[in-house]
Amino acid sequence: MNEIEEFRRETRQWLETHCPASMRTPMSEREVVWGGRNGSFPSADAEQWLRVMAERGWTAPSWPTQYGGGGLSAQQSSVLQEELRRLKARPPLYSFGLWMFGPVLLEFGDEQQKQRFLPPIVRGEIRWCQGYSEPGAGSDLASLATRCEDRGDHFLINGQKIWTSYANLADWMFCLVRTDTGKKHGGISFIVFDMRTAGVETRPIRLISGESPFCETFLTDVRVPKDQLIGPLNVQGRRSLAQSATLRTAHRVPRPRRARLGGRRFCGRRPAGHASLAALQGQLHRRWHHRDQSQRHRQAGPGPARCDLRRSVSHVNEFRPANARRERAAILR
């Protein structure tokens, strides 16, 4: 038996022993484990499943072991995913930290930041949200205006973010801010802060579905220590957006079918006006819930539905005129 076959045999045995039977069943939205300081578990089995997977580093199988990850090779990670799918095992943890922030920190963070933030992400102790979009900066993210001033021993942040998924439930935010007003693309930096910091206020946005998966996030004189800047200050706009592009592509799943709304297939006709985008987001959100429930039983990787949804958002962007897409592509390159 070769090494990878031996790994598969051991993995199958370990999962058979440690994955509770109730964690091998389809999962409703209310049973998703997001973790975090105020996180709750739908059952003792769900808590146990997260604990044993995190102890083994298998909530982040390919991350290095010194940061709490599993240290698995790409081949071993695939085998683990296959064996989890074989059992129809639920993901032990849904996390923007695992899917988005962690991969960037591994590439751009310093050693102190990695030691500080990665292990709690692996254990599901911190829930992260993504602070990118603003009322005046959606697809044209480089237009963001949230100001971050250097005040000597700290930064001072003022501005507003919008469509921040679950910001009202998050513990920390990873955020793009403007650190140089003279350069549109070259004056953006990547910073993180605790949502309990004075001056951070979230207001859930109620969608036509009645749900509030998004928030407006207001930042008023938010003081952030200098060691929470990720990567260099004023990292080239394209590069910092490349980070976010990295974020957005990290969990690319096979290209989903085009978005369908009410059975109609979009055929390149651009929905008219911003209002329709809000309606579209509301419907996409409902579609996400529907699709997510149906897909959860397959439980492969980091929440295909979300990536799907994000891609759905990018589908929306596909209805933009060619130059808008070219502009967005240029920024993300």
Ligand X SMILES: Cc1cc2nc3c(=O)[nH]c(=O)nc-3n(C[C@H](O)[C@H](O)[C@H](O)COP(=O)(O)OP(=O)(O)OC[C@H]3O[C@@H](n4cnc5c(N)ncnc54)[C@H](O)[C@@H]3O)c2cc1C
Residues in contact with ligand X by the rule CB under 6 A: 129-133, 138-140, 163-165, 270, 274, 277, 281, 284-285, 309, 313, 319-321, 324, 327
CB of 172 to ligand X, least distance (A): 13
**6 vs 140 by CB, closer to ligand X:** 140
Give the shortest CB-121-to-ligand X separation in angstroms.
16
Residue nearer to ligand X on the CB measure, 269 or 274: 274
The answer to whether 303 touches 275, Cβ cutoff 8 Å, is no
Segment holding 98, helix H or strand E: none
d(CA 284, CA 278): 10
Compute CA 228 distance to the chain's CA centroid, rounded to the nearest angstrom: 19
**Which of 68, 138 has the CB closer to ligand X?**
138
Residue partners of 60: CB distance under 8 A and separation at least 6: 68, 69, 70, 98, 102, 118, 121, 122
Alpha-carbon span 125 to 233, nearest angstrom:
28
CA angle 294–72–13, rounded 5-degree value: 70
Report the chain's terminal Cα–Cα distance, integer Å. 44
Q: How far apart are CB 79 and ligand X at their closest, in Å?
A: 31
Residue closer to ligand X, measured from CB, 210 or 321: 321
260-261/264-265 β-pairing: antiparallel
Say how far apart CA 258 and CA 60 lie, in whole Å.
Answer: 30
Minimum separation from the CB atom of position 267 to ligand X (A): 15
Nearer to ligand X, 15 or 305 (CB): 305
Residue (93 or 313) nearer to ligand X, CB: 313
Q: How near is the Cβ of 130 to ligand X at its closest, in Å?
A: 4
